Amino acid sequence: YALSGLKWHKTELTWSLHNFPSPSRSPTLTHELVEGILTHAFKAWSDAAPLSFRRQQSDSGGGDIRVSFFHFLHDDGYPFDGRGGTLAHAFFPGRDEVAGDTHFDDHETWSYGGDGGSTDLFTVAVHEFGHALGLSHSSTDPSIMRPYYQGPVESIHNFQLDLDDRLAIQQLYGVKSDGLPGGVDPDLPVLPNPAPPKPTQPSEPSFPKRCQGGFDAVANIRGEVFFFKGAYFWRTTRDGSLLSLNPAEIKNFWTGLPAGTDKIDAVYERRSDSSIVFFIGSQYWVFKDTVAMSGYPRPLSEWGMIRKSGAVVDRVDAAFIWAHNGKTYLFSRGEFWRFDESRKDGQVTTRPEAGYPRDNSLWAGVPSNMDDIISWGGGDAYFFKDNLYWVLKSGGLNQDIVTPKSIAVDWLRCPAPPSTSTTANPRLPGKCSCDLRD
Amino acid sequence: STSSNPEQYSSAVDWLGRYGYLPPPDPRTSKLQTMEGIERAIRVMQRFGGIQETGVIDSETLKLMSTPRCSLPDIVGSEDMLKRRRRRRRKR
């Protein structure tokens, strides 16, 4: 078992029920049944430790453990997610206002017995009350404190906690019979003091503005999108969260690039070994995680990219792996090359496939001189240029009309411009592509 | 490979972070998650969940990740619910 480090410093606890599950979603549960189920769930803990639970009316303040049914956002910072997924949560004991509060997701179909695709309220309530009393999740099987829903118990009237849970609750509150449960003083050792608060740093005005666009490179690395601009980068997670409004300095995060690096041409995560490849000018670096591997930089000419004109490629404008086929694409000055980087004899080959270069214009509907490209979402290709991005659906190459969207608004948490204007087709500046809203 | 199914991979990393197996991301104080770190986190998650420890996001792992569960993290470190709540309250 695992303890949270927090407990109630009393054994006579009060609880209250602030609402009931929606009848439309949990039609089998009457109010009386809900009250009975919750009472039995508390009894599971009071049977194993010298605890007592007395119900209070919700309008009298609610007592120590306040039970509610909520859906989605409910003002505690931990929104529910609809049916399935997360079912409930509870706050550990303490003096905090929310301590002991126990919330159930009202989008679940709660039931007594948990049959027919519903969720058994009793087992989830016993689990959550365990949190409200100070227990964390346990990896032991059997234990009611395992984090995953385990289905209904055989009989709530005869339900008894498993040994793991009994030892945990007795460690905190002692045993009911005479004896010494978990030592003479079941109180936990004092927790270390939290780190002193750090003063808020004002935003550095010299940082490049993320809302202006014009990124040097954009890359999907380990499921996060990195936007490089000058000597800085921003980072967003898959769910669209921007980790900070302020950028981080490239040199403080990516170790091994030359001092004074103030522009990254292109970056991508290599498929075969998950190393990260940086292109700057006529050189490239391979990173293992955030540190450049020894032996780099190496000349870009090693990639064997020869222009149609016969010249050796001296810079890379964009690089990405197309999820559609797993191949690596490098773009330079209006032409692109394709690579198969699957490992052969333990080596990653960096020679372009036959038939390349080809013209960027083959990627219809997007700018031919893009800033960078990534694969994202369900394998779609995202083309970035200035402050706009275009999405080519998975496997698509010839989508004549691809409506661009704002990088600043969609990726970097910038306000939308006050009015919309008709978007130009990047290939035909004089021709407009409109949708219904425009 | 992280590139073969980026959505599935990102979802798994998101899940590992939400339930305490990976540290919370912070561009100023934390490193990029290393492949070794993610593999280690997957192994801990698999051990905690009682399934075979493979270190990769296999079908059993995905199945466990999609099982309905409690919102609280399994690994409670400095980012446990109450402390986050207190910090948010202080900010407010």
B14-71 pLDDT, tens digit per residue, is: 899 899 998 866 666 555 677 888 899 999 999 999 999 999 999 999 999 999 999 9
Cβ neighbours of A108 in B, within 8 Å: 68
Between CA A271 and CA A327 the distance in angstroms is 9
Q: Please give the residue of chain B at the shortest CA–CA distance from A268.
A: B3
Rounded CA separation A147/A141 (Å) = 11
* Least confidently predicted of A37-51, A125-139, A334-348: A334-348
Q: Is the pLDDT of residue A428 over 80?
A: no
Q: Do B68 and A377 make contact, defined as CB atoms within 8 angstroms? A: no
List CB contacts (< 8 A) between A272 and chain B.
Answer: 1
Among B21, B45, B69, B89, the strongest candidate for a mutation testing the A interface, having the largest count of A CBs within 10 A, is: B69
Summarize pLDDT for A102-128 with one digit per residue, the tens.
Answer: 999 999 999 998 777 899 999 999 999
Look at residue A86 and tell me whether its pLDDT is greater than 90. Answer: yes
Average pLDDT over residues A73-101: 92
Interface touch A323/B76, C-beta < 8 Å:
no
d(CA A381, CA A323): 8
Residues of B in contact with A210 (CB under 8 A): none
Treating both helix axes as pointing N-terminal to C-terminal, what angle do B35-49 and B6-18 enclose, rounded to 10 degrees?
Answer: 60
* Helix (H), strand (E) at residue A125: helix A121-133
Q: How confident is the model at residue A92 (pLDDT cuts 50, 70, 90)?
A: very high
Q: Which residue of B has its CA nearest to A100?
A: B82
Whole-number Å distance between alpha carbons of A4 and A70: 24
CA-based nearest distance B50→chain A, Å = 7
State whether B13 and A223 contact (CB < 8 Å): yes
Q: Which residues are CB-neighbours of B56 under 8 A, at least 6 positions away?
A: B39, B42
Q: Residue B1: pLDDT above 60?
A: no
Residue B88: closest CA among chain A residues belongs to which residue?
A77
Name the minimum distance, in Å, from the CA of B66 to any CA of chain A. Answer: 7
Residue A423's pLDDT is 45
Chain pair A-B, CB pairs under 8 angstroms: 154
CB < 8 Å & 24+ apart, contacts of B38-45 = B38/A222, B38/B13, B41/B16, B42/B12, B42/B16, B44/B75, B45/B16, B45/B19, B45/B21, B45/B74
User: Mean of the pLDDT values across residues A255-269?
Assistant: 92
Task: Please indicate whether, in this complex, the C-beta atoms of A89 and B31 are within 8 angstroms of each other.
Answer: no
Q: Are B84 and A77 in contact (CB < 8 Å)?
A: yes
More confident residue, A431 or A146: A146
Q: Which residues contact A284 (CB under 8 A, 6 or more apart)?
A: A277, A278, A296, A297, A298, A300, A302, A303, A316
- Residue A332 pLDDT > 60: yes
pLDDT at A266 over 80: yes
Task: Name the residue among B3, B72, B57 with its Cα closest to residue A76.
Answer: B72
pLDDT at B81: 47
pLDDT at B89 over 70: no
pLDDT at A170: 93
Quick: pLDDT tens for A31-53: 999 999 999 999 999 999 999 99
Contacts of B3 in chain A (CB under 8 A): 269, 271, 274, 321, 323, 326, 375
Nearest residue, CB atoms, A237 vs list B1, B14, B48: B14
Range from A79-88, A202-211, A217-226, A392-401 carrying the lowest mean pLDDT: A202-211
Residue B11, pLDDT above cutoff 70: yes
Chain-chain contact of A80 with B71 (C-beta, under 8 angstroms): yes
Closest partner residue to B71 among A89, A94, A194, by Cβ?
A89
Among the partner-chain residues A128, A235, A248, the one whose CB lies closest to the CB of B70 is: A128
Q: What percent of chain A has pLDDT over 70?
A: 84
At residue A9, the 3 state secondary structure works out as coil
pLDDT given for residue A436 in this prediction: 42
Residues of A acting as catalytic residues:
128
Q: Do A239 and B49 touch (CB under 8 A)?
A: no
Q: Which residues of B make CB contacts under 8 Å with A?
A: 1-4, 6-7, 9-11, 13-14, 19, 25-28, 31-35, 38, 47-50, 64, 67-74, 76, 80-86, 88, 90
Give the whole-angstrom CA distance, residue A105 versus residue A92: 18
Nearest chain A Cα distance for residue B14, angstroms: 8
Q: Name the helix (H) or strand (E) containing A87.
A: strand A86-90
By Cβ distance, the residue of B68, B76, B90 closest to A119 is B68
User: Where is average pLDDT lowest: A225-239, A294-308, B17-31, B72-86?
Assistant: B72-86
pLDDT in the model for residue A162: 94
Among residues of chain A, what percentage have pLDDT more than 90? 59
pLDDT in tens, A166-175: 999 999 999 8
Distance CA B42, CA B34 (A): 12
pLDDT range class, residue B10, cuts 50, 70, 90: confident
Kindly state the average pLDDT of the residues A370-393: 90
pLDDT at B5: 67
Half-sphere exposure (Cβ direction) of A216: Cα atoms closer than 13 Å: 22
Tell me which chain B residues have a C-beta less than 8 angstroms from the C-beta of A375.
3, 6
The mean pLDDT value of chain A amounts to: 85
CA distance A291 to A278: 11
